[in-house]
Structure 1
Amino acid sequence: MTAQRLMDYKLVRQCAPTLAARKVGSLFCMEKALAEHEPLCAILARWNRELNPSGIFVRIVAERCGRSFVYVYRRNLLNRLFETAEIRRFLEQYDYKHFDEERLLSNLTHRIARCHCFPHEIGVFLGYPLEDVKGFIANGGQNCKSTGYWKVYGDVENSERIFECFRKCFAVMSSLFERGYSLPMLAVG
């Protein structure tokens, strides 16, 4: 497998539900050493070129200790999410004042840079249910009802259905990629 395919496979393995339009966004870490054959900025530019026509966007939201944290998101789902009054009220508690995409992501990036750990409202940007994001914050990550792709504090049954959907996305997308499908072919429009 070429270096480019390896990088693409990392994206597929980490972001399958986002590629499949089942999740608002995904966050994963890339070691800078992994991108030695192709500079990270070139990888991101190529991914954006290939994925933007399907409404998927890629950007770095943090850099720490030789690692870049890459946020992959569906613009339409993100914008729709932030039209919700309850989400806006929640984020206003964390100094989010403007709800256009660029300012939201800029504010998130700034908050990540200021925090020793990731700010917990990032769960909203990843499409986790607000009830679970609030529960995680209120309980300090303890006392959850269930754990899967996130810690569940609310509707366990619905979350388990979502987790199963995500597992299928990972399996199907990985299999298709291994059979030669390209990123644009995997990006559900």
Structure 2
Amino acid sequence: MDASLKLKYLECLNRMQGKDYLAAIISFGAAPTIKGRKPSSLIAFSGRRKNLFALWHCYKQEICLEFNLEYCELKDGAEIAIVLFYRRKMLERYLGNSRNLDFLNSLGYQEAVTLDEKLQLLKSRFALTCTHEVGIFLGFPVEDVKGFIENKGKNYLLSRYWKVYRNRERAELLFRIYDEATLDAASAVIRYSEGYNSMRD
């Protein structure tokens, strides 16, 4: 994202409060998923900044309905919630891909047949540690998830939305698509903020 646009977006974000602030955070953080370009996105809400944790619990149903997203709270502790936002049909298709399914089954997902069962198993495993298979749920190529495990996070070709170990060209294309979605989201937040403030003046 252009530096001046990013600064403007952050300035607008800082002026927001309550539900508007939470919606802006989700619209940006989950932009590729909202736009239907990525099966899911992961966002953490803490109590440190404008108490996003409390805002999430107050407005989550309303905002997810507005964005046409479903969610799974992988962690929901005292002061932090880690939430997977997803498009059901898109995520089902991605997890149903034979290579992805074989990888998940190798990690103990054989009995988790439905998407909801897979998400519940992911949640139970995520409670103990940030498990590697979360990358599959996030739409990362299985060879890159395996590469990350085999290389212990080192020796990658490229690192942006995830660490890339094979097919750099495909990853760069996807990154551009995701960047376009986040750029659109940032621009929408700026337009909303400026319109809202002009109405108040």
With the shorter chain as reference, the TM-score category is 0.7 to 0.9
- Of structures 1 and 2, the one with the larger relative CO (CA 8 A, separation 6+) is 1
Aligned to 1:40: 56
- Return the alpha-carbon distance in structure 1 between the equivalents of residues 28 and 103 of structure 2: 31
TM-score normalised by the chain length of structure 2: 0.81
172-181 or 104-113, which moves further after superposition? 172-181
- 2:42–2:138 contact (8 Å) kept in structure 1: yes
- 2:47–2:54 contact (8 Å) kept in structure 1: no
Query: For 1:30-59, what per-residue CA distance to the aligned partner results, in whole angstroms no more than 9, with x for missing partners?
Result: 01354479553332211232233xxx2123
- Return the alpha-carbon distance in structure 2 between the equivalents of residues 35 and 45 of structure 1: 17
Three-state SS of the structure 1 residue aligned to 2:143 is helix
Question: Are 1:61 and 2:74 an aligned pair?
Answer: yes
Computed over aligned residues only, the root mean square deviation of the Cα atoms, in angstroms, reads 1.9
Question: Are 1:137 and 2:149 an aligned pair?
Answer: yes
- Return the alpha-carbon distance in structure 2 between the equivalents of residues 47 and 126 of structure 1: 20
**Which blocks of at least 5 consecutive residues in structure 1 are unaligned?**
182-189
Aligned to 2:115: 101
Q: Which amino acid aligns with 1:74?
A: R
* 1:22-37 correspondence to structure 2 within 5 Å: 22-33=37-48, 34-35=50-51
Question: Are 1:113 and 2:95 an aligned pair?
Answer: no
**Which blocks of at least 5 consecutive residues in structure 2 are unaligned?**
1-15, 194-201
Q: Which amino acid aligns with 1:84?
A: N
- Return the alpha-carbon distance in structure 1 between the equivalents of residues 82 and 53 of structure 2: 19
Question: Are 1:74 and 2:87 an aligned pair?
Answer: yes
- 1:18–1:26 contact (8 Å) kept in structure 2: yes
Cα 1:37–1:132 change in 2 (3 A) is: closer
Higher helix fraction (1 or 2): 2
Three-state SS of the structure 1 residue aligned to 2:156 is coil
Q: Which amino acid aligns with 2:33?
A: T
- Per-residue deviation, 1:83: 1.8
Query: Which protein shows a greater Rg?
Result: 2
TM-score normalised by the chain length of structure 1: 0.85
Q: 1:156 aligns with which of 168, 182, 188?
A: 168
Q: Which amino acid aligns with 1:127?
A: G
- 1:3–1:37 contact (8 Å) kept in structure 2: no
- Per-residue deviation, 1:137: 0.9
Identity between Structure 1 and Structure 2 (%): 28
Cα 1:138–1:59 change in 2 (3 A) is: same
- Return the alpha-carbon distance in structure 1 between the equivalents of residues 53 and 29 of structure 2: 20
Aligned to 1:184: none
Q: 2:103 aligns with which of 86, 90, 95?
A: 90
- 2:75–2:126 contact (8 Å) kept in structure 1: yes
- Return the alpha-carbon distance in structure 2 between the equivalents of residues 75 and 13 of structure 1: 19
Q: 2:66 aligns with which of 24, 41, 50?
A: 50
- Return the alpha-carbon distance in structure 2 between the equivalents of residues 137 and 41 of structure 1: 34
